[in-house]
Each structure stands twice: as C-alpha cells, then as structure tokens.
Structure 1
C-alpha cells in the first residue's frame, strides 16, 4: 500500500548564505502580501484569495532569487493562515534582530528534483546528508526550513510503500509524571529528566549570554525526547491493532506548578506521534475521557471506599479494592479502564 510521507534531511552548511538570501526574499513577499491584504480589507472590504494574490505577484520571480512556484505557495499559505486564525492581518516576517523569523522556502510539486546526487531547485544544486536514498523517490511539494541553530533542512513529501503491522494487541495508555506512559498490559515508559538534567548547563549559558550554546542545549533536550518517544510509539504500533489514550491536557497542566515536569514528559508529542503512525498503519487510535479511571476498579467496575482520592491520594501507587479484593498498580488500573472506555464499555 502506498502512502504519502514527509522526509527531512539536513542541507550542507556551505549553502547557508544562499538559503538565507532566499529566505529574506520570502519574508519580503510575505510582508508585501500582508500589507496588500490589509489594504484590500480596509479600503474595499475584500478578502483576497490565493488566486487574487497571485495576480499581484506574477512576474516577481524575475527580480527575486525565488522560483515562481515558491511565490505562489507563499500566497497560498498566507490565505490559509489568515483564514485559520480569522485575522485581517498576520504577523510580519522579520529578517533580522533577536526576534527574526526562522527561514522558510516553500515549493510546489515538481519544483525540486534529485539530480546528480543532489537536490536541484531554482537553478541551484544542494548537497544533503542523504539518509533516505532520495534517488528512489519522486518529489512532491515541500520546503527548505531553518531551525533555531541556523541549520537548514530539506523537507519533501514522497510516496512510500507501507506494510501493515500484523500485531493485534489492544492497549490502553495512561499518561503520568512518575511514568510518562503506562500501558494496560503493564509495559511502562519511565519518565526521563530531559530538561532537568540540562537545566544547570542551560542556566550558565543563558547568564553568560551565550545564545548559540543555549540553543544547542535546547536542541539536545528536544532530540533526546523525540528519540525516546519515537522508539516507544513505533514499538506500540508494531504490536497493536487498537491504541486508546487518556485525554490528559498538557496545555492546562502547563499553567500549574507542575509545568516543567509536564512539558518535560512530552505527552502532546507522544499523542501526535501515535495518531499519525496509527493512521499510516491502519490502526485504530482513540482519545477518551479519563475521569475516575484511577479510582475505578478495573476488575469489578465499582468505586470502592479504598480507592485513592484527591491530592492526598497521589502518593498511593498501589491499592486494594474493598469490593472484590484485587490489588491494583495505580497506573496500570487506570490504563485498563481507559482501554475499556475505548471499547465503549462503562
């Protein structure tokens, strides 16, 4: 079965000046469209579509170091984001200063090709660290993008052959702070201290005003977290046919005193990974409400008097049901109840 997948490879650093120049032109076009759209709304009450915007930008590629497809994609993206955020005017893209926008150079399908072992786009060839053997693929739409450390990446959509995993396990997942994820079959992903382990080094770099060093530390933290979550989510997808996750909200909990610990776990990232990997593999994925899943006995389905309750009960990791006598691991019990909710059982 064929599916569309986005591949991301790093571009060699010697092309940074060229890509930065192209990115500044992208910002110029974006800001022009932003002003144009704002004036059209103020003066004529007209919201310009991507088609309308293209009329005003046709021929500008002759004066700018950009492919005509890139300029069309900028207009299309602008119209999409303006509609998404329901604003008459979006933020300006800044090419300099502390708050400068990270570089972004979009392109349409066919505007980038693999030629002589390099990515060919807009009359330029770019060497990349080719970890996917890009010569095997036909490029669709994509972009060049810059990260916070000034490194550039080539992102492109391609069609790949996907094998459907044979696993048929049904798993419920409870997200927590002691263990990032606990599965209904007892498998756990231990909470790692990605940020906490680097916090002291990060503070030293920030106090010394070493921005590049601080960015490198932040990147290391993010990469470690992504690596662990990718491996865990991939292992689940390989062996499962149904995955059910509790609807715990990291956004809401990030506003409490637990903010650092909550953000360090990467709950949102894990749910995103599971969602798109399950979709790609044809696996059922659901997010269900987790109210009372910790307090309900997964064996008899009652709310016993012996259940852990409130803030005072957070330290109780094991408890016995006073109704049926079964002893539960707190998180495994919650995961089993989440799995039951996914099957729409009370």
Structure 2
C-alpha cells in the first residue's frame, strides 16, 4: 500500500503594516502606474518591530494546525524554507519549534530562495514516505524588506514579507497527497539574482541585486518545463490540472508561463498584486488564499511551481 503525505491544513501570516504603491512612490523615484504595468503589484506588507521570519512562520503554523484540527504536539517534523533567517544559526525552524511549545521534533531550515518552499515540501514528503515522520509542518517565511536596497527602485518595489505553512500527514492508500515533485538548480547564474554579502565573504548581511530582464527570460522557460516534467511524473496532463499555484514574483511571468503551457488564466492563482514577491513564502501564501476563499477544494489536482536565485526551480503535483 502506498504511503503518501497529504496536505491536511494550510495557513498564512502577514505583517501588520501594508504599504501600497502610492506610499512607496512618496519615498522612492517610482509611480503606481510604473509598478503595476511592469509587475502587477499594487501593495506589499513590511515587517515592523518584533516581527521576524520566525514569528511570522509561527503565526502561519498556528493557523495551519487549526485548519488541520491538530495540536502542535502532534508534529514530529518542521522544515522551514527561508533566505532571511532570524539568525545565522540556529535554524529559524528550531525557533518556531520553541514558540509552538514542541519539546522534541526534527527541525531544520532549507535555503533555495523563491523555490525554497518546493524544496522543503519535497524533503518533507520524502521523509514522510520513508516513515521518518508522521506529521510535518512545511513553511515558507521571509522578511525580504531587511535585505532590500531602498534606493534601488528596480528591486525594492518588487518584494514584501510574509509566511505560509502547510501541515502534512502520512496516509496509507487513497488518491490524495503529494503525487510527484521535481527540483532543479543551476549555479552558473549566480550573478543574475543574489545578495552581495554573507558571513563567509563580507561578514555583513548584504543587499539584494537582480538583473530583471534575464531573470524573466529564464523564469518563463524553466517554469513551463518543470511543470511539464512534474505532470509527466505524476501521470497527468495539463487537462487534468484544476489549479496552478505559481511563485508570485511578477504577473507578467505568471501570464507568459500560462500561455506557454496553454493554461487558462482562470486556473492560475494570482496574489502578487496584494502581497508582492514574498520569496519562499509566496507559494504557500497564495495556496492558503485559494483554499480559504473556496477555489481549491478537496479532490482538486493542484500544481505548485517556483523559480528563484541560484537559479533554483521546481514543481509539485498534489491531489487535495
């Protein structure tokens, strides 16, 4: 009998402060029209004092546990995807573990930038399938506002902070669960999207740098390819897909990828307009929005996909 990891609950969390394009335009040489035309973004949330990657992640986990009807003590694995941890070490996953009051569990971070949640989901899925865990929290959480150059209008308008989480539970038999995952990386493209600092190089946190046009071109090709790969691995076709939940980086990338695959825009979840790019948090955050508003229902076939710095990219096919 096949053992699968089933998504039992979803949750998300955003900082208190919402910053729309008009407010940003008062601080940076930009306009609402310029941002919307190029990205589709209308607002983002910025973490304030006392709000960190771990606190946002913990809030998202509490909501996901409530949605699943479980207690924190039921969890034996925590995998947190982030590029903006609270500390260099220990992992932010262990901070979430402590904040949730979990005395003993496997807990660690995964770092694959915007693809981080897909990497974390794949790792947790493998551990559940192998019998190393029965119930897992898989989280994407970021405070990208703290690594932005607020004088660079080409990057600071694109990102926001937030967290999303899912609860996985082992299930023997049935059609539900994570059907297939596919992951990739190509480190030759480091200079296209990176942070210019780190403990081993500059001894500083650094700021985000990006060559937007090149990233756009690679994203459309890579995302379309990996979505096709994961559908083949799961024995599905595009016609079988009820919903695609893509990384929320840029509305134009999402639209171009959908067109390349022949996907109807009505089957693609879009939240980048209200949350901006929240890196590893964007896929679970968008997933939570679509589950909570009733679009994604039990039995639906959902494909999650993302691409980020590295380059990294990946996808997962899930039966809800």
Q: TM-score range with shorter-chain normalisation? A: under 0.3
**Structure having the larger proportion of residues in strand:** 2
TM-score computed with the length of structure 2 as normaliser: 0.24
Higher-RCO chain (CA-CA 8 Å, sequence separation at least 6): 2
TM-score normalized by the length of structure 1: 0.23
